[in-house]
């Protein structure tokens, strides 16, 4: 299946970008075709009605238009969605055709904190529901990610590591059913 991954912060050492790269490899290993958007690919101009989208925004829109599922790997900023990711979502919601209605989405987060970015994912759920996207009820969260992600982005805590294949498989089942 064709899948897009989007997320990470804008900083080079982003823990979420590291987790995204791990999930990307896991999906490729399962035979899926993966496109990843992170870092500068998400450094988009601020969304403004009446202004044409930038070439980078058009590239993201085209990828979302062709994908069968989206994996979001989002930092949590003040219990919400970081500005650059919300900005990307807002651009995509104004562009035609909207990629959001009926799009299956897997939510993931990594944080040095004890909750693993889970509160930010609640904000994501509200925004995705508003646009008609279908967020999987389960999510991947990595608490204490500054200590519990290896250099390749794989969770080192046994419980978190064990949940990753289960949640990925649940998401892939949803995507397959919706195809
Ligand atoms: C503006 C700002 C707000 C933050 N708010 C939260 C928060 O609400 N919850 C949390 O767990 N971490 C919070 N953090 C810490 C981030 O989780 C931490 O910086 C994390 O490493 C960011 O993700 P990244 O490693 O992908 O850049 C915040 C960081 C910033 C810069």
Q: Which atom of ligand 1 is the closest one to the Cα of 11?
A: 27
Q: Report the distance separating Cα 21 and Cα 38, nearest Å.
A: 10
Residue 179 has pLDDT above 90, yes or no: no
| Average pLDDT over every residue of 60-64 | 98
pLDDT of residue 52: 97
Cα(31) to centroid of ligand 1, in Å?
32
Type and span of the H or E element at 62: helix 55-66
Total structural domains in the chain? 1
- Full domain range(s) for residue 123: 2-178
Residue pLDDT, tens place only, 42-52: 999 999 999 99
How buried is residue 12: exposed, middle or buried, by Cβ count under 10 Å (0-12/13-18/19+)? Answer: exposed
| CATH for 86 | 3.40.50.360
- In sequence order, the β-bridge partners of residue 38 are 7
Q: What is the pLDDT of residue 117?
A: 98
Q: Which residues line ligand 1 (CB under 6 A)?
A: 8-9, 11, 14-17, 75-79, 111-113, 117
Q: Mind listing the pLDDT tens digit for each residue in 9-58?
A: 999 999 999 999 999 999 999 999 999 999 999 999 999 999 999 999 99
Give the nearest ligand 1 atom to 111 CA.
17
Helical (H) or strand (E) element with 175: helix 158-178
* Spacing, Cα 179 to ligand 1 middle (Å): 35
Contact present, 103 and 70 (Cβ < 8 Å): yes
Q: Quick one: which H or E segment has residue 94?
A: helix 83-94
């Amino acid at each position: 299946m064709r899948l897009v991954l989007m997320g990470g912060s804008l900083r080079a050492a982003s823990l979420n970008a590291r987790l995204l790269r791990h999930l990307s490899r896991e999906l490729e290993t399962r035979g899926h075709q993966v496109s990843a958007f992170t870092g500068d690919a998400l450094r988009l101009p601020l969304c403004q009605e009446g202004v044409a989208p930038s070439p980078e925004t058009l590239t993201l829109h085209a990828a979302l238009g062709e994908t069968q599922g989206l994996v979001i790997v989002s930092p949590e900023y003040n219990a919400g969605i970081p500005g650059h990711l919300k900005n990307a979502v807002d651009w995509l919601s104004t562009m035609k055709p909207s990629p959001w209605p009926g799009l299956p989405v897997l939510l993931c987060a990594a944080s040095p904190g004890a909750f693993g970015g889970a509160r930010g994912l609640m904000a994501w759920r509200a925004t995705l529901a508003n646009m008609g996207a279908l967020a999987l009820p389960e999510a991947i969260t990595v608490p204490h990610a500054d200590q519990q992600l290896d250099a390749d982005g794989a969770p080192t805590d046994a419980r978190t590591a064990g949940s990753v294949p289960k949640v990925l498989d649940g998401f892939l089942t949803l995507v397959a059913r919706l195809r």
